Amino acid sequence: RAGLVEGIFRDTPVLPVHLDSSGLECYICDDENLDEGSDCHEQFRYDCTSYAKNFKPTELIFCRTMRKRVNSYTITKECISEQDHYRVFPLRQYSFDEEECDFIEMDGNELAYCLCQKNFCNAKNIVDQFVDFEEVSRKFLL
What average pLDDT does the structure give for the chain? 83
d(CA 116, CA 95): 13
* Whole-number Å distance between alpha carbons of 140 and 78: 27
Please say whether the beta carbons of 140 and 95 come within 8 A.
no
pLDDT in tens, 93-112: 666 667 899 999 988 899 99
Confidence of residue 140 (pLDDT cuts 50, 70, 90): low
Residue type at 48 in one-letter notation: C
* Phi, psi angles (nearest 5°) of residue 2: -65, 145
